[in-house]
Amino acid sequence: MKKIINEPTKVVSEFLKGMEKAHPELEYTEKLEVLSRREKSDKVAVISGGGAGHEPAHAGYVGMGMLDAAVTGNVFSSPSPDRIIEAITKMNAGKGVLMIIKNYSGDIMNFGLAKDLAELEDIQVESVVVRDDVAVKDSTYSTGRRGIAGTVFVHKIAGAKAETGASLQEVKAAAEKAIENIRSMGMAMTPCTLPAVGKPGFLLGEDEVEIGMGIHGEPGVMRTTMKTAQETAEILLDKILQDYDYSNSEVALMVNGLGATPLMELYILENEIQTLLEEKQIKVYKTFVGNYMTALDMSGCSVTLMKLDEELKKLLDAPCNTPGLKIG
């Protein structure tokens, strides 16, 4: 394993220290692994978080127009409730706190417990759960769909809504509208290596890819041979369009890299996706190409669509200034 680290157990705290030094407008709370905006504003606080390993998510989306704080767990592990409570109490300005949770058992349980505890302290906390990954069957019986790259759109929408001075319920409603309209689908070409494990968690053959693999290297839905960019675009988009009707609508498109995929390849894929969307008369209002929600050093990609109405367009276009996303 070749990684630019010191000790596997210290990666999270050193990463966040580095973020604080690189971005003086952000503040790091040691031990609790919370990164927050230094200037607390008088509005609904929007927080998110989860296991580390998805950089720039989530710490990279802290800043004007997106998150007020991000809570980081160990690599691929949900943060514990005490960390989450720190973010809640620190950023609550009396208007309440919205938690944006990706749909994983661990996150649901930890954020859920933190919410219960915060409410005992009379802090108003609401939560929304992102479940955009169409690789996983939705189900009310099981945990259901995972939250993946689409989460970044939810951060953007909720953050922009909060900046308008909206109420907690309104911010929550905007986030939920976004969630309703977001679907994603991913593909992995190489495994990822947890720093503390030191070797990849699984193997893929020289010419194999895994469609639908999760952002923690959880097994996908289909293993197949490497396809062309065009075929890959078709496979990923088909799965999304089968699940949700985007026809005759305007969408935001995100082509996301999982960490080790060159930007050139992401744009090549994006080019194919645009062609397909045009054929299907789905109009792309805004496009995002880059590493937004990664899986350590995995190579691969995901495609996300968010259907837009006038409100979502306005919120998407609203300015934001975070290390991971700048608009306006």
Partner 1 sequence: MGFHLTSKDYANYIRKAYRLIHEKGDYITELDSATGDGDHWININMGFEKLVEAANELEEMTVFEEFKKIGTIMMSVIGGSSGVLYGSAYLAAAKTLKEKETIQNENLCEVLDAMLQAIMSRGNAQPGWKTMIDSLAPAVQCYKDCILNQVDEKTCLSRVKQAAIDGAESTKDMEAVRGRATYQANKGVGHLDPGAVTMSYQIATLMDCVLEKL
Ligand X SMILES: Nc1ncnc2c1ncn2[C@@H]1O[C@H](COP(=O)(O)OP(=O)(O)O)[C@@H](O)[C@H]1O
Contact residues: partner 1, CB under 8 A: 9, 51, 73-83, 104-106, 109-110, 113, 135-136, 141-143, 146, 194, 196-197, 201-202, 214, 216-219, 221-222
CB of 43 to ligand X, least distance (A): 31
Nearest to 268 by CA among 230, 300, 303: 230
Q: Could you confirm whether 23 is annotated as catalytic?
A: no
Query: Among ligand X, partner 1, Mg ion, none, what does residue 23 contact (CB within 5–8 Å per kind)?
Result: none
Strands (E), 62-119: 69-75, 97-102
**Residue 69: CA count within 13 A, CB half-sphere:** 30
Give the pairing of strands 125-130 and 97-102: parallel
Nearer to partner 1, 209 or 273 (CB): 209
Amino acid (1-letter code) at residue 123:
I
Query: Among Mg ion, ligand X, a second copy, none, what does residue 265 contact (CB within 5–8 Å per kind)?
Result: a second copy
Task: Confirm or reject binding of residue 193 to Mg ion (CB under 5 A).
Answer: no
Q: Could you confirm whether 216 is annotated as catalytic?
A: yes
Residue 121 and residue 116: Cα distance in Å, rounded? 9
Q: Dihedral of the CA atoms 264, 266, 268, 272 (nearest 10)?
A: -170
Nearer to partner 1, 61 or 76 (CB): 76
Query: Dihedral of CA 150/5/86/25: which sign?
Result: negative
Q: Which of 23, 58, 155, 216 is catalytic?
A: 216
Residue 258 per-residue DSSP state:
-
Site string for a second copy, 145-184 (x = CB under 8 A): ----------------------------------------
Query: Among partner 1, Mg ion, a second copy, none, what does residue 147 contact (CB within 5–8 Å per kind)?
Result: none
Q: Which residues bind a second copy (CB under 8 A)?
A: 2-6, 11, 14-19, 21-23, 52-53, 55-56, 60, 189-190, 206-207, 209, 226, 228-230, 232, 259-272, 274, 284, 287-289, 291, 294, 296-297, 299, 301, 323, 326
